[in-house]
Amino acid sequence: MRVAVSGSTGFIGTLLVPSLAAAGHQITRLIRRPQRVAEPTLLWNPESSHWDVTPLQGIEAVIHLAGESIADGRWTRSRKDRIRESRARGTRILCEALARLPSPPQTFVSASAIGYYGDRGDEVLTEESGPGTGFLAEVCQGWEAATGPAIERGIRVVSLRIGVILSPEGGALAKMLPVFRLGLGGWLGSGRQYMSWVALDDVIRAIHHVLDAESLRGPVNVVSPHPVTNREFTKILGRTLGRPALMPVPAVALRLLLGELADEALLASARILPSKLSASGYPFALPDLEGALRRLLLREQR
């Protein structure tokens, strides 16, 4: 398949592009500025509708991962604006460009996030559940709505509501490991909030699956089928590392350090199931937290 990928040098894209190439797909990277990479590239501007889309003619699928990072520091007003705009506006501009093509791609896969559901306590959530409240829920709703031009053009659109990604190379786990290895790890706040996690391996494999599973469209939760509470996650990570994990971080300290980000990204509870992936026959590579952590940490040591 001929596949275009935006955000190809990001956390997910860095692993996704070589895996797609290894599977025999022909890759075109959508990039904002010239880069020296092995694959063909196409310059695009996620802030402007005025760019030449004709090189995308003949592309069969587009995977859209680009967007301002959510978790890198406090949310100032300007940063929140950048987060919101980079997702909603960039996605809409790309979808409008694809819709203008005489023969648009059959499939558009766009990243979204489980922030869509907000803070929902112990409620079991699936793709059929409604949106939550708060900044992240608002961002995700706008992000997914921005795919409208592609849907109207008849393109199969899948919005990947991705959970807390686990990988020692980046994301939440990479930030936790140094602290936990010192024996200074602990749960956050009450620790009762649910973490809907997913191994990076399964994110990549799920994207491959979505490209092939033509029955999948709309929102798709990309999370392990076994969410855990933050306290459970802390206990399992400590046990996997052979370190104590008994130093909880009070919610007030997190709020002082990170402000609104703490409440929405660290203390919010989202107990989410991958209903559509499971129903479509997707086989998780790393469904169990302890098994996933052991596999990931063993790989890190090689």
Annotated domain spans of the chain? 2-301
pLDDT, residue 298, reads: 84
Contact 145, 138 (CB under 8 A): no
Q: Taking all residues of the chain, what is their mean pLDDT, rounded to a whole number?
A: 94
Its sign, for the CA torsion 65, 9, 267, 180, is positive
Q: Are strands 2-6 and 26-31 parallel, antiparallel or unpaired?
A: parallel
pLDDT, residue 4, reads: 96
CATH number of 2-301: 3.40.50.720
Its sign, for the CA torsion 108, 93, 111, 37, is positive
Separation between Cα atoms, residue 41 and residue 284, nearest integer Å: 32
Strands across the sheet with 164-167, in order?
170-170, 164-167, 197-199
Residue stretches of the chain with pLDDT short of 70 = 301-302
Over residues 161-220, the pLDDT tens digits come to 999 999 999 889 999 999 999 999 999 999 999 999 999 999 999 999 999 999 999 999
